[in-house]
Structure 1
Amino acid sequence: MTTGSTYTLQEINALSHDDFVQALSPLFEGPPWIVAETWSSRPFRSLDYLHASLCAVMYAAPLEQQVALIRSHPDLVGRAALAGTLSPSSTHEQSAAGLDRLSDEEIAAFSRYNQAYRERFGFPFVICARENKKESILAGFEQRLHNSPGQEIMLALGEVAKICLLRLRDLIRS
C-alpha cells in the first residue's frame, strides 16, 4: 500500500466497524470479509496480534471462501498488470519484484506459467512479490506446478498472509 492514510494502532482500535473495514480492506484482494470479521477481535495490542487475528479468520474460513480469496488475486504479469488496472498495492508489489520491466520473452513465460497453473489448480499463482524477484517467481511456478491442489491452497494462503503483513506494516505507524 503505497498511498492513502496511515494509522496508529490506537486509531485502528477506535475505528467504527465501517471505518475499520474501509481502512483495512486493501490488506486483502477481493471482498473485505476477513477485515469485517476481524473487527470484533479489537482491541489489538500489537501489529502482530492484529495480523494474527486477520490470518486466523482467513484460515478458519470454509474452503470455498479461501479459494475465492485466492481467485481474487491478479495473475502476475497478467492482463490487469499489462493494462495498468491492478490495485495500487498490487502495482507496487509487482514493480518491486521487477515485473514491470520484463522482456517480451519473459512476459511470454509468465503468460505460459499463468495459464498452466490456472488450468491445473483453477486459481492464480499467488506469491509475495515483494519478497521475490522475477527469477525466483518463475522458479516458484515450476516447483509449485507439481504440488497437489490442497498443498497449493495452503501455500497460497501462506503467501496471502505474507502480503497482508507487509501491507499492514505500510498502513500502521508507530
Structure 2
Amino acid sequence: MSQEDSPVSRSILTMSQVNSLSDKDFIRTFGNVFENCSLAAAAVVRRRPFSSLRHMHAEMCSFVDQLPKKGREGILRNLARIGNPPSSRNPQSRESYQEQRSVGLHDLTKEERSMLDSLNNDYYRKFGFPFVICVRLNRKEAILQKLAKRLHSTAAIELHTGIEEVKKIVLLRLKNLVIEKLDSKL
C-alpha cells in the first residue's frame, strides 16, 4: 500500500490522532514530508507523544540535524530537480509536483526553461545534490535568481541552506496534514 492509499493520509489530523496512529500508519501518513524519505518519519515515530505540530516538526528537524554530513546530503539528493517534470531520472512526489506547479515552474518559457536547466545542471555538478528551495515561499522569478546566486556559494553553506529549506518544506507539508488547534489531551 502506498502512502497515498493510507486511510489517514487524506484527512487533516489533530495532534491526539497523530499520537494515536499505529507506527505503520504514522510512517505512511508522514513518510513523504521529507521528499521520498520515510526514514525520517520512522525515526521520530517513537518520540511521540508530540505536544504540538511545532514539537513534531522540531523532532523531525532534530533527526536530520543529527545525521552525519553524508546523511544530510542524502536527504537533499532525495529531492527532484526544481522545475523538471517527474521522470525515472527525476523522481518527484505528488506534493513536490503540486508545489512546483503552483508557482509556475512547470509552465516556463523556452528561455526560462533553458536557463533553469543550465543552472540546475551546473548546481548539481558543483554540489552533488539538487538545488533546494521552499517554492511555496517564493515566486518563480525569485527562485531563478536565488539559484543563480547560490551557485556561487560553498558546499558547506549550500548543505546548510538546503537543509534549512527542507525544514521549511516539511513544516508546510505537516501543516497540510495536522491541524494546529490545541488538543485537550495527548
Name the TM tier (shorter chain): over 0.9
The alpha carbon displacement at 1:84 in A equals 10
Secondary structure of the 1:73 match is coil
Cα deviation per residue 1:35-61 (whole Å; 9 max; x = unaligned)? 111111111011111100110001111
Q: CA deviation at 1:27?
A: 0.5
Out of 122, 129, 133, the position equivalent to 1:123 is 129
State the match for 1:146 in structure 2.
152
The separation in 2 between residues aligned to 1:111 and 1:5, in whole angstroms, is 36
Conserved 8 A contact 1:97-1:131: no
Q: What is the identity, as a one-letter code, of the residue corresponding to 2:22? A: S
Distance, in Å, in 2 between the alignment partners of 1:165 and 1:132 is: 15
- Opposite residue 19 of structure 1, the aligned amino acid is D
Aligned AA (1:135): E
2:111 to 85, 105, 110: 105
1:43 is matched with: 49
For the 8 Å contact 2:85–2:106, the answer to whether it is kept is no
Partner of 1:16: 22
Matched to 1:57, the amino acid is F
CA 1:85–1:39 in 2, change beyond 3 Å: closer, same or farther? closer
2:31·2:38 contact (CA, 8 Å) conserved in 1?
A: yes
Q: Which runs of 5+ in 2 are unaligned?
A: 1-8, 182-186
In the alignment, the residues of structure 1 paired with residue 126 and residue 91 of structure 2 have an alpha-carbon distance, to the nearest angstrom, of: 25
Contact 2:84/2:90, CA 8 A, preserved across alignment:
no
The answer as to 2:113 corresponding to 1:114 is: no
1:28 equivalent in alignment to 2:22: no
Matched to 2:101, the amino acid is: S
Aligned residue in 2 for 1:167: 173
Greater share of residues in helix: 1
Q: CA deviation at 1:79?
A: 4.4
Q: Which runs of 5+ in 1 are unaligned?
A: none
Separation (CA, whole Å) in 2 of partners of 1:157 and 1:86: 18
1:20 alignment partner AA: F
TM superposition outliers: structure 1 runs of 4+ over 4 Å: none
User: Could you tell me the TM-score, scaled by structure 1's length?
Assistant: 0.92
- Measured in 2, the distance between the counterparts of 1:61 and 1:30 equals 17
Across the two proteins, how many residue pairs are aligned to each other? 172
Aligned equivalents of 2:171 and 2:58: distance in 1?
A: 9
